[in-house]
Amino acid sequence: MMFVRSFRRFVTHTRFDEKVRNEVRRQSKINKCIFGGVLALGAGAGCVVWMRSPSCPLYDGMLYVLRKWVDPELTHNFSVLTAKLGLFPVDYSVDPPVLYNNINNVTVFNPIGMAAGYDKDCAVPYQLLRLGFGFVEVGSVLPKPQPGNPKPRFFRLHNNEALINSFGFNSLGVDAAVENMKRSRVKQQKDPLTKDSLIGISIGKNTNGDILSDVVCCIRKIGAYADYVAVNVSSPNTPNLRDNQRREPLIKLVETSKEALNELDKRVASGDVSYINTTKTKPLLLFKISPDMTKEEMEDVAEIALKHRLDGLIVTNTTVSRPEEIKEELEKIGNPGGGLSGKPLKELSKRAVFEMYKMTSGKVPIIACGGISTADDALEMIEAGASACQIFTALVYKGPGLPSAMKKNLASLLQKKGYKSIREAIGAAHMKK
């Protein structure tokens, strides 16, 4: 009997141990799954936080894949969507005081700006400012929606870090742009990082529109949201648009634009509308000119800018010229028409900045645009006469960390060259002549 009881206890104990072991195994698997999930979530969260930094190296690989394998326009649209979803990195650094400048009584805390053409419908200026830009230009905005030119209309020249576009002002129209600007301004004004930064709005014309009435329409509808209005008379992709850079049409357009801004100011004074911009004053008026102008045409622009007291010139837009160094790569992509931007444009743009500064005796502020991709490039433009600089194509090749890196490097360069502020560097190349 004792043997039977002992055997029963042994069997019962063995079964009990097996149950315990199974339960331990089950709990162990659950714990491993929980631990793995927490680890994965932690790694994912860490990756997201890491990618919120503009200097995150993961962007280099992502951009390489996108540039290598994905259609340029699709990549561009994906980029804007990413910004809309709040997935762009954020630069939390403070702008170095050496970069502070005053342009027509408007403070620019750093001179690195985003050029027009990236955010055509004013969808993400707030997100762009958070990359570290001192100012952002959106547009070009048009009175009515239009699809632009047929696709393909956007091309990369990888070896030359250049782009060719023939978009033709594809646009959702000014009414959609106004709604986007309303949302962006609300976000911007609540954000200590961006509340003092500037947003300019580029204005163009519909393909079949009249430039005078189109500019008046856009200023009336969206002008109150702009810290400056940039009238685009230099895109090579809209038929006859560049004709408005000639003397008589340009005078008429400048006068009409100023009248429209004065009318906007009167409406604000009467309480009809309010300025929903950073400066809370009438927007500055700038004109964006071509790099392909003759010396005589540039002299006319300089004279008009001085006589009519333009607040500034953006020098320059894209070029229809094709430098020798890009010819081979150009043939590989089928010699597309359109405006060339990026590194091959730099010397042409810098020459235009230098000449325009000289022609205006430094009395008309210049924003340099074209071929700028490093702090050295920016300083060259500033010494040639620019008060600020804009980039676009360089972002495609160098990623979202570029504006943050450029402003830091530019501050270091200024100090190394003995400049106490950016103001001392503006036009310095003319002193050396």
Among 51, 81, 79, 84, which Cα is nearest to 66's? 79
Model pLDDT for residues 353-363, shown as the tens digit of each residue: 999 999 999 99
Q: Is 0.85 surpassed by the pTM of this model?
A: yes
Among the listed ranges 1-5, 180-184, 227-231, 358-362, which one has the minimum average pLDDT value?
Answer: 1-5
- Contact between 197 and 366 under an 8 Å Cβ cutoff? The reply is no
Cis upstream peptide for 107 (omega within 30°): no
C-alpha to C-alpha distance for 274 and 277, rounded to whole angstroms: 9
Model pLDDT for residues 143-163, shown as the tens digit of each residue: 999 999 999 999 999 999 999
CA angle 308, 309, 311 (to 5 degrees): 130
**Annotation says 235 is catalytic:** yes
Model pLDDT for residues 277-312, shown as the tens digit of each residue: 999 999 999 999 999 999 999 999 999 999 999 999
What is the arithmetic mean of pLDDT over 236-242?
Answer: 93
* The listed CATH number (3.40.50.10860, 3.20.20.70, 3.10.129.10, 3.20.20.100) that belongs to domain 93-431: 3.20.20.70
List the catalytic residue out of 166, 184, 235, 404: 235
C-alpha to C-alpha distance for 81 and 73, rounded to whole angstroms: 12
